[in-house]
Amino acid sequence: MSTQLAEQPWIVSIMLVALGVAAISAWLQTGKKPLAVIGGLCFLLIPGAFALASSWVTDREAVEAVIYEAAAAVEANDHQAAVAFIGDEKSKQMALAELPRFKFSMARVNRLDSIIVRDEGLPKTADVDMSVKVDVSGSRGGLQNVRVLRRLQLEFEKRGDEWVIINYRHLPVIGGPDQYTTSTR
């Protein structure tokens, strides 16, 4: 329910409107003032639902923010900033070996297919499945501004208040692994 409050203010608002209309209708039929007060309070709580949603950052939203910050660092060819989001040493070394081979002129999240946050264990983890789009050139020549679409699977872990990537894998958008597929596990 807390995720609904934080991520779905329209649904909460629709429920408040329905409850408010029902309370006002009941007041008009019965004349009982408490029903009018309840109806009025429901309508007054609607802006509060949006204020709460804008100020409350859920784990899912925090993971999504890390994804977009990492994409911006990759696009800026700031390899150190890009790997700063990686919390696993093996994954970090693999990314540091892989990123300098390329020069990115664009790196975008094409589509976030799923972000699944697992609250049941400690530490919390999240699995992300998404597709990315990059315009890339080889740092030593070879390819020049080639548009590449890849499927990216990330595994996150919550450490303190921050989410870090502990595993990543990129694959073709369609089909199984190819010669460019990498995985840290």
Determine the pLDDT at residue 91. 84
What gap in Å lies between CA 142 and CA 138, rounded to an integer? 6
- Residue with more model confidence, 81 or 175: 81
> String of b and e for 22-58 (b: at least 16 CB within 10 Å)?
ebbebbeeeeeeebbebbeebbeebeebeeebeeeee
Same domain, 146 and 126: yes
The pLDDT-based confidence of 177 (bands split at 50, 70, 90) is: low
Residue where the block lists tokens 């094409």: 110
Look up the CATH number of the domain holding residue 112. 3.10.450.50
pLDDT in tens, 113-132: 999 999 888 899 999 999 99
Residue 184 has pLDDT above 60, yes or no: no
Same domain, 31 and 65: no
Residue where the block lists tokens 């696993």: 88
Q: Considering 55, 85, 100, which residue would you say is the last residue of a domain?
A: 55
Same domain, 157 and 76: yes
Determine the pLDDT at residue 120. 86
- Domain hosting 141: range is 59-183
**Residue 71 region by backbone torsions, left for phi larger than 0, else alpha for psi between -120 and 50, else beta:** alpha
Same domain, 20 and 96: no
Three-state secondary-structure class, residue 161: coil
Q: Considering 55, 71, 87, which residue would you say is the last residue of a domain?
A: 55
pLDDT in tens, 8-56: 889 989 999 999 999 999 999 999 999 999 999 999 999 998 898 888 8
Same domain, 32 and 95: no
Total domains in the fold of the chain: 2
Same domain, 16 and 86: no
**What's the pTM value of the predicted model, to 2 decimals?**
0.76
Direct distance between the N- and C-terminal alpha carbons of the chain, in angstroms, rounded to an integer: 34
Same domain, 132 and 145: yes
Same domain, 93 and 156: yes
pLDDT in tens, 87-104: 988 888 888 988 898 899
Same domain, 81 and 159: yes
Same domain, 11 and 64: no
Same domain, 79 and 44: no
Judge whether 151 and 128 are in contact, CB under 8 Å.
no
Determine the pLDDT at residue 183. 62
Judge whether 166 and 126 are in contact, CB under 8 Å.
no
Q: What is the mean pLDDT of residues 2-12?
A: 79
Determine the pLDDT at residue 95. 86
Same domain, 17 and 68: no
Q: Considering 29, 55, 81, which residue would you say is the last residue of a domain?
A: 55
Determine the pLDDT at residue 178. 64
